[in-house]
C-alpha cells in the first residue's frame, strides 16, 4: 500500500482530530458503545492491548515486592466520610446503591471511585507492629465515576485500572515509594509505550484529594495537548490518623504509618492512539501490540504458497513473536489497509518469487518502508525490525514533544502557543490565585512543576512577584 494512501473511513486527523480519534477507536475494533452513556465495551483487540499492558506492569510491580489483592466494590457512606478532603473531591462523581433487591438499605453504598478508604479499613485490622510493615498492595479492578462527558478510553464512567496502596513505618520510606512508582510508570511509558514523558509534581490546586503531594507523568499528544499518563501520591499519615491505624514501633511506642497510592488506567490506550496514530489508523508499539507481525500470502492459489506462509507463521510463533496469518480471500489492498488500520507493527508478504529466492518482504507500519528478509533466520530479522519500529515511534514522539514545547514570558504567549498546540514553560510565584488566572485568561491548566527545573525568568508573569518554580502549562484531555 502506498505510503500516503488513506483508509477512507477515517476522518483526516488534521481536519478533525476529535472525530479521527473516535473513528480509530471504532474502526480498529478497539471499543464499542453500550446502552449506558459513558460505559463502553472493550472489544477483544482493545482488551488484548490492556492485557499486555497489565502483564508487563504486574511483572514490574511484583519484582518490587508488591502483592495483588482484591477489595469490595462497594464503600459504606460512613466509611467514605472519614477523610473529609478525600470525600469532598469525589462526591460529585459518586454513584450510590440504595436498594438491595427490593429492600431499601439502611446506609448508602458508594460504588468505588477509588479505594483508599477500603484499604485503610483493612490496614487497621492487619497492621499492629513494625514487623507488619511495609504493606505493598496493588489491586487490578474497575472503578466508577459519574462523568458528565465521556470519550472512549479517555473518560469513562466505568474504567479499568490498577491502584497501588502501600503503608510504611517512616516518612522517608513512603516518600521513596512514591518516587519509585512514578519512575516505574515513566520508564514503562517511554520504554514500552514509546511515549516520552515529563516527570514532575502537581501544584496544590491540582493534587489528588487528600494527598500531601501528587507526582505525575505528563505526555504530549500528536495535536499538542496534554494527557496525564499516571500519578503517584504521598499521603503522609493523614489517612492513618483519620482511620486510627497504629503500629507498635521498634521503640515500643504507638505510631501512625505513612501511606502512598499510585495508579494508571486504560486511559493509556487513548494516549497510545493519540501519540502514534496517523491517517491510516493505529500505530501500535510492538511491545504491547496484540499482533506483532501479520503474515500475508501473495498469490495464495499457487502451489506451495500457503504451506510456506504457514511454516513462516510457525517459525515466528516458536520464537516468541505474537504473529498471525491472513488466509482470507480478501484482496491484498484490503488486507494491507486492514492491518495498517489495526496498527500491526510489521506485515510480512510471501509470494512464489519470494519463496524461490528464500526471502519474504517486511513492511513497517512506521512509514511503510519495505525490507527483504532472508527466511533462513527470519525470526531474528523480524525481531530486529520490531526493535527498529519501537525506536522510531519513540523518536518521532520525542520530536513532537520538543518541537511543541516553548518558553513563555507573558500570559498572552502561553494562551497563543497552547491554543495552537503545545506546552508552555513559564515561571510562577506559587500563588494559587495566579494559577486560577492562567486558566481564566489563557485557557490552560498547570500540568506539573517539572523535576528538571530551568531558570527562564525572575518574576511571575501573572502578578510580577518573584518566581519560585518553572511550570509546564497546557490544554489537557
Reported as a single tens digit per residue, the pLDDT across 257-305 is 999 999 999 999 999 999 999 999 999 999 999 999 999 999 988 999 9
> For residue 285, is it within any domain?
no
pLDDT at 5 over 60: no
Q: What is the pLDDT of residues 339-349, one digit of tens each?
A: 999 999 999 99
CATH of the domain at 182: 3.30.930.10
The count of domains in the chain is: 3
Tell me the pLDDT of the chain averaged across its residues.
95
Domain region containing 359: 293-388
Nearest-angstrom CA–CA distance, 94 and 108: 11
> For residue 263, is it within any domain?
yes
Least Cα distance to 265 among 156, 186, 424, 339 occurs for 156
Residue 104 grid cell? 431499601
Q: Are residues 112 and 259 in the same domain?
A: yes
> For residue 4, is it within any domain?
no
Q: Are residues 69 and 202 in the same domain?
A: yes
Q: What is the pLDDT of residues 67-94, one digit of tens each?
A: 999 999 999 999 988 877 777 777 889 9
**Which one is predicted more confidently, 85 or 23?**
23
Q: Are residues 409 and 467 in the same domain?
A: yes
> For residue 122, is it within any domain?
yes
Burial 36-74 (b: 16+ CB within 10 A, else e): eebebebeebbbbbbebbbebbeebbeeeebeeeebebe
**Which one is predicted more confidently, 7 or 203?**
203
Q: Are residues 361 and 432 in the same domain?
A: no
> For residue 394, is it within any domain?
no
pLDDT value for 2: 39
Q: pLDDT class for 4, splitting at 50, 70, 90?
A: very low
Q: Are residues 154 and 38 in the same domain?
A: yes
Beta-carbon contacts of residue 84 (< 8 Å; ≥ 6 apart): none
pLDDT at 7 over 80: no
Q: Are residues 326 and 448 in the same domain?
A: no
pLDDT value for 3: 44
Q: Are residues 239 and 153 in the same domain?
A: yes
Asked if residue 295 lies in contact with residue 251, where contact means CB atoms within 8 angstroms, the answer is no
pLDDT at 6 over 70: no
CATH of the domain at 412: 3.30.110.30
Question: 3-class DSSP state for residue 414?
Answer: helix
> For residue 203, is it within any domain?
yes
Cα 63 to Cα 24, 67, 84: the distances in Å are 35, 10, 35
Strand 40-42, strand 103-111: pairing:
unpaired
Q: Are residues 229 and 342 in the same domain?
A: no
Nearest-angstrom CA–CA distance, 162 and 152: 18
pLDDT value for 8: 59
Q: Give mean pLDDT, residues 108-113.
A: 95
Q: Are residues 150 and 62 in the same domain?
A: yes
Query: Of 336, 362, 388, which residue constitutes the final position of a domain?
Result: 388
Nearest-angstrom CA–CA distance, 465 and 477: 30
Q: Are residues 75 and 197 in the same domain?
A: yes
Residue 131 grid cell? 514487623
Q: Are residues 191 and 264 in the same domain?
A: yes
Kindly state the greatest CA–CA separation across the chain.
81
CATH of the domain at 314: 3.40.50.800
For the whole model, what pTM was predicted?
0.95
pLDDT at 145 over 70: yes
Nearest-angstrom CA–CA distance, 183 and 163: 15
Asked if residue 460 lies in contact with residue 427, where contact means CB atoms within 8 angstroms, the answer is yes
Query: pLDDT > 90: what percent of the chain?
Result: 94
pLDDT value for 312: 98
Q: Give me the helices (H) in 319-427, please.
A: 332-341, 352-357, 378-403, 411-419
Q: Give mean pLDDT, residues 49-62.
A: 98
Q: Give mean pLDDT, residues 110-130.
A: 96
Amino acid at each position: 500500500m502506498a505510503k500516503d494512501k488513506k483508509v477512507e473511513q477515517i476522518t483526516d486527523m488534521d481536519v478533525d482530530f476529535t472525530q479521527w480519534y473516535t473513528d480509530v477507536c471504532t474502526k480498529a475494533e478497539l471499543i464499542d458503545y453500550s446502552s449506558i452513556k459513558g460505559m463502553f465495551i472493550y472489544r477483544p483487540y482493545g482488551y488484548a492491548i490492556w492485557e499486555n499492558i497489565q502483564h508487563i506492569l504486574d511483572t514490574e510491580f511484583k519484582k518490587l515486592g508488591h502483592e495483588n489483592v482484591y477489595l469490595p466494590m462497594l464503600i459504606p457512606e460512613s466509611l467514605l466520610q472519614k477523610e473529609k478532603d478525600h470525600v469532598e473531591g469525589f462526591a460529585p462523581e459518586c454513584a450510590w446503591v440504595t436498594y438491595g433487591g427490593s429492600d431499601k438499605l439502611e446506609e448508602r453504598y458508594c460504588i468505588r471511585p477509588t479505594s483508599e478508604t477500603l484499604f485503610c479499613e483493612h490496614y487497621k485490622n492487619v497492621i499492629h507492629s513494625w514487623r507488619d510493615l511495609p504493606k505493598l498492595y496493588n489491586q487490578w479492578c474497575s472503578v466508577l465515576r459519574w462523568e458528565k462527558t465521556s470519550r472512549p478510553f479517555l473518560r469513562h464512567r466505568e474504567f479499568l485500572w490498577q491502584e497501588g496502596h502501600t503503608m510504611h513505618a517512616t516518612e522517608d520510606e513512603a516518600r521513596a515509594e512514591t518516587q519509585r512508582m512514578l519512575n516505574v510508570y515513566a520508564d514503562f511509558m517511554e520504554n514500552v509505550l514509546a511515549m516520552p514523558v515529563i516527570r514532575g509534581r502537581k501544584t496544590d490546586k491540582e493534587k489528588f484529594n487528600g494527598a500531601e503531594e501528587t507526582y505525575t507523568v505528563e505526555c504530549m499528544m500528536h495535536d499538542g495537548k496534554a494527557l496525564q499518563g499516571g500519578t503517584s501520591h504521598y499521603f503522609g499519615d493523614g489517612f492513618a490518623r483519620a482511620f486510627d491505624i497504629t503500629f507498635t514501633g521498634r521503640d515500643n511506642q504507638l505510631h501512625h504509618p505513612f501511606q502512598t497510592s499510585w495508579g494508571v488506567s486504560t486511559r493509556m490506550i487513548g494516549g497510545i492512539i493519540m501519540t502514534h496514530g496517523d491517517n491510516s489508523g493505529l500505530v501500535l508499539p510492538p511491545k504491547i501490540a496484540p499482533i506483532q507481525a501479520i503474515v500475508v500470502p501473495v498469490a495464495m492459489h499457487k502451489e506451495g504458497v500457503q504451506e510456506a506462509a504457514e511454516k513462516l507463521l510457525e517459525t515466528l510463533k516458536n520464537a516468541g513473536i505474537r504473529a498471525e496469518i491472513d488466509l482470507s480471500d480478501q484482496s491484498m489492498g484490503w488486507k494491507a489497509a486492514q492491518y495498517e488500520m489495526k496498527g500491526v507493527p510489521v506485515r510480512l508478504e510471501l509470494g512464489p518469487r519470494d519463496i524461490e529466492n528464500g526471502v519474504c518482504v517486511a513492511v513497517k507500519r512506521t512509514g511503510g518502508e519495505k525490507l527483504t528478509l532472508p527466511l533462513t533466520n527470519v525470526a531474528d530479522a523480524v525481531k530486529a525490525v520490531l526493535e527498529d519500529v519501537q525506536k522510531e515511534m519513540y523518536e518521532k514522539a520525542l520530536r513532537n514533544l520538543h518541537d511543541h514545547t516553548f518558553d513563555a514570558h507573558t500570559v498572552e504567549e502561553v494562551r497563543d502557543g497552547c491554543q495552537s498546540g503545545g506546552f508552555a514553560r513559564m515561571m510562577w510565584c506559587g500563588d494559587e490565585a495566579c494559577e486560577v488566572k492562567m486558566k481564566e485568561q489563557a485557557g490552560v491548566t498547570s500540568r506539573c512543576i517539572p523535576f528538571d527545573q530551568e531558570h527562564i525568568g525572575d518574576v511571575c508573569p501573572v502578578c510580577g512577584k518573584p518566581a519560585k518554580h518553572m511550570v509546564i502549562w497546557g490544554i489537557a484531555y
